[in-house]
Structure formats: structure tokens, C-alpha cells
Copies of this chain bind each other. A is one copy, B any other.
């Protein structure tokens, strides 16, 4: 049994079947606009997105994904990397909430995408060292957290068999494993 919840949340999932149809700039903007409004500690807004939507940028970004991800992600019209600022900008002290707050921005992006009929898929499987180098990211200043694929879902997209077999929403742990009332028993 599920608690009553907006269909937005259980309705969003991370497919591997993407169309090669481009995403118009105003639609893409709406995703980052949603991310921009995510809350953050001291309103620091540590999240930053490096985005490829032109053929030239996609050619640069695609080899930064591991082969298992390229097998389906190469077809998508937008690839991005998600970065978190390691320090608070005012004081220069470490921001231990940077990853957490950047996760909130990513979730907003993914939900706005879902509202617009787009799909997103976050990937830990990236060549992280090469992402820093190729995209000229200062590792002292930024943490590269993951890659993103953004595009229109296409159930008929050509997929390797392993991806075809996995092409369905994942299950979730029951609410009783996620929420505890009071201290840990």
C-alpha cells in the first residue's frame, strides 16, 4: 500500500530509451530554472550544471561517460554534469551540505523535466578524472557528482539487451524502512 501522494513523484523514473529529438532551449531552461529555486544552506546555492546540447559539446561530453552508459546515452540530445561548490563563497570554509543541497537542485530539475514530458537519468558511471580535466573544472573548488542524460523518452529506442531488460521503474523500500518515529529503537 502506498500513501496518497502526487503522481509526480512515483510517476518519474529514469529510462535508458531516449529519442534523438532535440530539446528546445526554452524547455531546457525551465529545468535549470526549477533547479535554481531549490533551497540550500545559508542560500548558498552550491549546484552548478555543465551542459552539452550542441553537436560540438556533445562530442566532447559523450566520451566522459563509461561505455555502459554511452551504449544508450549517446542517442540523447542533452548531457550534463552536476557540480557542487566545495566551499561557502563568503567565508571560504568547507560546505558540508554542498552535496545534499545539490541533490535537491537535481531533484527539482528531474521533476520539472517530468512535468514537461521529458525524462532524465543520473549516472554515477562517468570518467570523473577526465570530466575535471576536459571541462576545466578546478577540483579544489568543485566536486563533480554525476552525469545527467536529458531528453524525450522513447520506448522504441534501440537498446542493448541488458538495457532493454532493465527498462522499467525500480521498486522502493517500504515507508517503514524510511521513516522512524522517535529515536532509533
Measuring CB to CB, which residues of chain A are less than 8 angstroms from any residue of chain B?
A: 2-6, 8-10, 12-14, 26, 29-30, 32-39, 41-43, 45, 47-54, 56-57, 60, 84, 97, 99-108, 110-112, 115, 122, 124, 134-137, 145-146, 170-173, 175, 177-185
Q: A178 contacts B107, CB within 8 Å? A: no
Q: B183 contacts A135, CB within 8 Å? A: yes
Q: B10 contacts A26, CB within 8 Å? A: no
Cβ of A51 to closest chain B Cβ, rounded Å: 5
Q: B99 contacts A180, CB within 8 Å? A: no
The listed residue (B2, B115, B136) touching A33 by CB distance below 8 A is B2
The chain B residue sitting closest to A103, CB to CB, is B103
Q: B43 contacts A170, CB within 8 Å? A: yes
Select the residue from A107, A136, A171, A183 with max chain B CB neighbours within 10 A.
Answer: A107
Q: A181 contacts B54, CB within 8 Å? A: yes
Known: A6-B34, A10-B33, A102-B103. 13 other contacts (CB 8 A): A2-B33, A3-B26, A3-B33, A9-B34, A39-B107, A42-B124, A43-B170, A43-B172, A50-B181, A103-B106, A103-B107, A107-B111, A108-B111
